[in-house]
Amino acid sequence: MEKRIPLVGSGLTRIIRLVKCGLISSLLGAATLSTAPATATESQDTELLGVMHRAYDSLSFLVRLALEPGYDRLDEPDVVAKLEQLDQASYSLLKHGQLEPVSFHLFGRSLDQNVQQMLRHYRNGLHDVAELYLLDTIEHCVACHTLLPDDKSRSIGQEFGESLKDTDLNSVLAARILIAIRQPERALESMENYLTQSDYATSELETEEELLDYLWYCLHITADGERPLPILRQVQEKKSTPFYLQRKIGLWIENLDQFADDLRQEPGMNQIRSLYQMADKAEASLTRRDRSIYDIVTSTMINRLLDNNSGLEPQEKSELYFMLAMIHMRMRTFSSSVPTAELYLEASMREAPDSELAKAAYAELEEYALKYYGDVDPLEELFSVPIEDLRTILGIE
């Protein structure tokens, strides 16, 4: 299944496969990368809200434009104005992120650099390249919107959410858009309807990936380990579901039954270490996802503990970020255009640069670069991870 998406900034039309097209759904989310910290002043809250609204205004314009059927020309000055507004908003969010945990700042840095590249290429007439950076920017939004439990809808996204009813987007893509515009309940309902309907072909839509996306969204956004159970059972019982996936779903159901209560409790280091070790030691199947629930639950609880920041030592924060990096490397399913694992490895190094764990984090980062890109240098350009800066901090010659 394919959907035509007009290029932002040109009269050309490009075909993007549905899995790639789904990235557009997340674009609106850049306006709400994080809520203001509990210690922020009222003026900081007001300022941040204004930044979010300006970012949302820009992104709403660009997404509506991209989804408009048959669009063949653009008023370029309007597009540039919205891109410039988005650029200013992403920079403001980056400055705000300096008051937050290091991971927020690193994600903000990556987002800001993507927006800058998108604007630069659009101004130079390279509209197709600008769209690729747009897609990368989009993925940052999904990554940040599913960090912490937050099942409250935001009025700011209701109007755009209503307009989706008039589009031909399928339920999965619509769900991603709804998550991006802070309509989580409607998003989950859309995905649940899709997963349980009887007229889709499992082989065409890679149901394992869709299920993991749903579980990631559901557990991270709602922290409700019981909600996915009936959905999983219905998919498991479908005749079109292959045996291997029926078995895997059975293991996920067992794990959810086991961890449903844990998700409702305040997490602690010992509990997180235990969960992580169980997932880390699992000799899983070909795709290594039999124990995915361990990874999803563990990442949910790690993010909550980091957000609470209740007396954590730098070494403990470094360990938590290292765990998150390994989880994202292991799953390799979510936000593939965001250097999530790489940014978490950098965060691990920056929290405790004198530790052995920091050196282990750098070794993972370097190995990844060498195996996938043939050299360390491309990683700096592709993911904006400052390799040389990190080597200096760690004292690596």
What lies within 8 Å, CB to CB, of 394 at 6+ separation is 349, 353, 358, 359, 362
Tell me the pLDDT of the chain averaged across its residues: 74
Phi/psi region, residue 153 (left: phi>0; alpha: psi -120 to 50; beta: rest), is beta
297 or 56, which is more confident? 297
Q: What is the pLDDT of residue 389?
A: 86
pLDDT band at 317 (very low <50, low <70, confident <90, very high): very high
Q: Are residues 188 and 226 in the same domain?
A: no
In a domain, 209, yes or no: no
In a domain, 208, yes or no: no
Q: Are residues 270 and 169 in the same domain?
A: no
pLDDT band at 181 (very low <50, low <70, confident <90, very high): confident
Q: What is the pLDDT of residue 354?
A: 94
The answer to whether 119 touches 84, Cβ cutoff 8 Å, is: yes
**pLDDT at residue 140 greater than cutoff 80:** no
3-state secondary structure 263-290: HHCCCCHHHHHHHHHHHHCCCCCCCCCC
Q: Are residues 231 and 350 in the same domain?
A: yes
Residue closest to 22 by CA, chosen among 5, 10, 7: 5
In a domain, 234, yes or no: yes
Q: What is the pLDDT of residue 345?
A: 93
Write out pLDDT tens, residues 226-261.
Answer: 999 999 999 999 888 888 889 999 999 999 988 888
The answer to whether 390 touches 358, Cβ cutoff 8 Å, is: no
Q: Are residues 226 and 124 in the same domain?
A: no
Q: Are residues 182 and 329 in the same domain?
A: no
Q: What is the pLDDT of residue 233?
A: 95
Write out pLDDT tens, residues 210-223.
Answer: 898 899 989 998 88
**Across 43-57, average pLDDT:** 70
Q: Are residues 176 and 241 in the same domain?
A: no
In a domain, 47, yes or no: yes
Choose one of 171, 192, 213: the last residue of a domain.
192
**Across 177-191, average pLDDT:** 81
Q: Are residues 260 and 140 in the same domain?
A: no
pLDDT band at 5 (very low <50, low <70, confident <90, very high): very low
**pLDDT at residue 28 greater than cutoff 50:** no
Q: Are residues 181 and 253 in the same domain?
A: no
Choose one of 154, 170, 192: the last residue of a domain.
192
Angle formed at CA 238 by CA 234 and CA 243, multiple of 5 degrees: 110
Domain of 252?
A: 222-397
Q: What is the pLDDT of residue 256?
A: 92
**pLDDT at residue 39 greater than cutoff 70:** no
**pLDDT at residue 19 greater than cutoff 50:** no
According to DSSP, residue 71 is labeled -
In a domain, 78, yes or no: yes
Q: Are residues 182 and 271 in the same domain?
A: no
How many structural domains are present in the chain? Answer: 2
Residue closest to 365 by CA, chosen among 352, 297, 384: 384
**Across 347-358, average pLDDT:** 94
Q: Are residues 185 and 250 in the same domain?
A: no
Q: Are residues 175 and 243 in the same domain?
A: no
In a domain, 99, yes or no: yes
**pLDDT at residue 40 greater than cutoff 50:** no
Q: Are residues 246 and 145 in the same domain?
A: no
**pLDDT at residue 292 greater than cutoff 80:** yes
Q: What is the pLDDT of residue 104?
A: 76
In a domain, 227, yes or no: yes
In a domain, 350, yes or no: yes
The answer to whether 298 touches 328, Cβ cutoff 8 Å, is: no
